[in-house]
């Protein structure tokens, strides 16, 4: 397949999968339940944090999480008391448990009270051509409060070799335009050109089959390789191809 043929093929798949029906089986449906900016951001961040494993289980547990936060995540984060955190202690999704969730809520309050919110952190520390250093800085700020060592593993650091799939997915949700009703386009001061593809088993396998990716491990080096090749196809919005790669892998068993 020539580069032109590959672009034509993937552009067609983007049109097919970058569609509201994509939300029916995707954790991105969780923040779409809200209209307030901060509710969208916080619900999206928490849903993306637990977005590994079975997709139905992810959606069910993210829904339970919104129940626990009274379907007002920003108000809950900013106004929570110690007994509210106790209510969260029974939550579990795979290795993410109530201890982790309690810290996440506490840290999010600090982020919104002292760091201009999630958007403020990522906007402040973005670099000219990449969001990966900003993700690393975000992790540093997110864990500046006292916390259990175990909890830090739930936010990845790309500067330590991680592909940081879940935070890259969260950034896609927040930054890419909402013209199709899928992503939100809430954060206007970050260009989609800086985003990186959420690299998981599906996007990785399809990327390798399409020769967009040679590296076998799905790590930060693989992400950089995939980024370079996707930016050749669309420099202004390379991460739109996440829909194509993921759709081909999950729905078409490509």
What is residue 178's predicted lDDT score, i.e. its pLDDT?
A: 94
Q: Quick one: average pLDDT of 142-168?
A: 97
What is the DSSP secondary structure assignment for residue 30, as one 8-state letter? T
Nearest to 239 by CA among 14, 6, 38: 14
Nearest to 128 by CA among 84, 201, 190: 190
Q: pLDDT (tens digit, 9 = 90+) per residue, 32-61?
A: 999 999 999 999 999 999 999 899 999 999
Nearest to 189 by CA among 99, 125, 105: 125
What is residue 254's predicted lDDT score, i.e. its pLDDT?
A: 83
What is residue 176's predicted lDDT score, i.e. its pLDDT?
A: 98
Q: pLDDT (tens digit, 9 = 90+) per residue, 60-100?
A: 999 999 999 999 999 999 999 988 999 999 999 999 999 99
What is residue 19's predicted lDDT score, i.e. its pLDDT?
A: 94
Q: pLDDT (tens digit, 9 = 90+) per residue, 219-235?
A: 999 999 999 999 999 99
Q: Quick one: average pLDDT of 200-218?
A: 96
Q: Quick one: average pLDDT of 145-170?
A: 97
CB 209 within 8 A of CB 254: yes
Q: Is 157 helix (H, G, I), strand (E, B) or coil?
A: coil
What is residue 97's predicted lDDT score, i.e. its pLDDT?
A: 97
Q: Is the pLDDT of residue 253 over 90?
A: no
CA distance 9 to 109: 44
Mean per-residue pLDDT over the chain, rounded: 96
What is residue 82's predicted lDDT score, i.e. its pLDDT?
A: 87
Q: Is the pLDDT of residue 115 over 90?
A: yes
Q: pLDDT (tens digit, 9 = 90+) per residue, 6-21?
A: 999 999 999 999 999 9
What is residue 93's predicted lDDT score, i.e. its pLDDT?
A: 96
Q: Is the pLDDT of residue 1 over 90?
A: no
Q: Is the pLDDT of residue 212 over 90?
A: yes
Structure tokens at 101: 């969730």
Q: Quick one: average pLDDT of 103-132?
A: 97
What is residue 126's predicted lDDT score, i.e. its pLDDT?
A: 97
What is residue 162's predicted lDDT score, i.e. its pLDDT?
A: 97
Q: What percent of the chain has pLDDT over 90?
A: 95
What is residue 213's predicted lDDT score, i.e. its pLDDT?
A: 97
What is residue 28's predicted lDDT score, i.e. its pLDDT?
A: 97
């Amino acid at each position: 397949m020539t580069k032109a043929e590959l672009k034509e093929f993937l552009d067609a798949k983007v049109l097919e999968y970058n569609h509201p029906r994509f939300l029916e089986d995707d954790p991105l449906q969780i923040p779409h339940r809200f209209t307030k900016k901060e509710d969208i951001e916080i619900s999206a961040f928490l849903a993306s944090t637990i977005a590994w494993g079975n997709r139905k289980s992810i959606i069910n547990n993210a829904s339970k999480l919104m129940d626990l936060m009274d379907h007002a995540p920003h108000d809950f984060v900013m106004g929570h008391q110690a007994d509210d955190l106790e209510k969260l202690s029974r939550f579990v999704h795979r290795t993410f448990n109530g201890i982790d969730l309690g810290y996440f809520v506490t840290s999010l309050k600090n982020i919104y009270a002292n760091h201009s919110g999630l958007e403020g952190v990522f906007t402040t520390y973005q670099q000219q051509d990449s969001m990966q250093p900003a993700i690393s800085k975000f992790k540093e700020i997110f864990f500046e409060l006292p916390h259990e060592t175990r909890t830090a593993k739930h936010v990845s650091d790309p500067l330590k070799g991680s592909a940081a799939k879940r935070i890259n997915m969260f950034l896609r949700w927040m930054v890419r335009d909402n013209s199709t009703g899928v992503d939100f386009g809430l954060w206007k001061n970050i260009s989609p050109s800086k985003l990186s593809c959420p690299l998981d088993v599906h996007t990785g396998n399809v990327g390798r089959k399409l020769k967009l990716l040679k590296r076998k491990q799905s790590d930060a080096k693989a992400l950089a390789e995939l980024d370079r090749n996707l930016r050749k196809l669309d420099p202004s919005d390379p991460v739109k191809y996440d829909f194509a790669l993921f759709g081909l892998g999950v729905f078409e068993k490509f």
